[in-house]
Amino acid sequence: MRKVLLAMGIYLFAYSTPVTGDFVWSALRPGLEMEQGQFQDHGKSVRFVLLRCDPARNVVRVVDTFHEIGKGNALAAFSLREVMMKTGSLLAVNAGTSYSYSLPIPGGLLLTHGKIITPVNRQAHNSGFLCVASDRLVITDLSGLRPENCAYAVQKGPLIFRETAASVSDFNHRTVIAVDEQQRLLILITEDAASLPGIAAFLYASSPELNVQSALNMEGGATSGLLIAPELKAQPSEVGNVDGLVASAIAVYSRKAQ
């Protein structure tokens, strides 16, 4: 049994170790940086885009696409492109699950402007929450959630821990958010299919300079997408599916615009 566990450990260490060197962040605007690179995930090379946002210098919030984009129009696309177009965000990334491709029906907690849009889904296994409070960002499990303290919150999962690197999961296009030691928001989006253990190894073990404190897997696959406003002149400015329907999005705004 010990030999099997040792062999599994060696295998995971050998094949999940990212090959990235030091990060070279490019500043898109004050408090918003971007990094592109690739890491190794079980022998596969995974390209990624990583954004780091300082909430002290930018506004981070969760957008309820149905009420904020639709505004009475159930025929809207409810996509990240519409989130950016209609709310004037600097960037938009997909957040929680939608139960349908016809209407943005949130799966789990969605809280915007201090108001609960949909309640917590307590049946969801190992789910986590991003809570945007007035002074800080929190990624937590259900036991640590205090909705009354959140201005915005969204539920998804699973939570990604350091130990997730030794688990098993399927490969998919991923959107992952994390909070670092300095309370900055990290947004990781993969351009190739990746596993959660591979991402955990990249975030925690192979990139200690990121100082990740907690991480949460957001909706992946066909919904995973990131859109950056053209004025920030980011390359690439679109990753994944930015036209698909999303129930909720995480958007970043300049403090002036808000």
Partner 1 sequence: MSKKDAPTSPPPPSRASAVFEAIKLDFNTIKIIVLTAAVVTVLIATPLVLVLSKFVTFDALDDRFKVTDSVRPKILQTIAEGLDTGYSKNFIISSSSTDNTMLFYASQGQKVTLSISAESIGPFPQVSVYLNNCPIEREPRSERFNWYEKDMTSLLKSYMCGPDEPNLHTLRIVVSGGVQSGTELQMKCLVLVYQRIHDPPKEQLPK
Q: Which residue is it, tokens 């100082």?
A: 211
* Least Cβ distance, residue 132 to partner 1 (angstroms): 26
What is the spatial distance between Cα 26 and Cα 46, in angstroms, rounded to a whole number? 20
* Least Cβ distance, residue 238 to partner 1 (angstroms): 11
Buried b (16+ CB within 10 A) or exposed e, 57-82: ebbbbbbbbbebbbeeeeebbbbbeb
Is the Cβ of residue 80 or residue 111 nearer to partner 1 in the bound state? 80
Handedness of CA 152, 156, 158, 162 (dihedral sign): negative
Is the Cβ of residue 19 or residue 74 nearer to partner 1 in the bound state? 74
Is the Cβ of residue 105 or residue 159 nearer to partner 1 in the bound state? 105
* Least Cβ distance, residue 201 to partner 1 (angstroms): 23
Residue 82, H or E segment = helix 80-87
Greatest pairwise CA separation for the chain in angstroms: 61
Residue 45 tokens read as 């090379």
Of residues 97, 35, 87, 109, the one with CA closest to residue 224: 97
Is the Cβ of residue 35 or residue 82 nearer to partner 1 in the bound state? 82
Of residues 257, 241, 249, the one with CA closest to residue 83: 249
* Least Cβ distance, residue 84 to partner 1 (angstroms): 13
Is the Cβ of residue 25 or residue 99 nearer to partner 1 in the bound state? 99
Is the Cβ of residue 100 or residue 126 nearer to partner 1 in the bound state? 100
User: What SS3 class is residue 97?
Assistant: strand
* Least Cβ distance, residue 16 to partner 1 (angstroms): 22
* Least Cβ distance, residue 221 to partner 1 (angstroms): 7
What is the spatial distance between Cα 134 and Cα 128, in angstroms, rounded to a whole number? 19
Cα separations in angstroms, 205 against 20, 83, 121, 173, 230: 12, 34, 31, 21, 34
* Least Cβ distance, residue 216 to partner 1 (angstroms): 22
Is the Cβ of residue 18 or residue 240 nearer to partner 1 in the bound state? 240
Contact residues for partner 1, defined by CB under 8 A: 72-77, 82, 100-102, 173, 193, 221-223, 240-241, 243-245
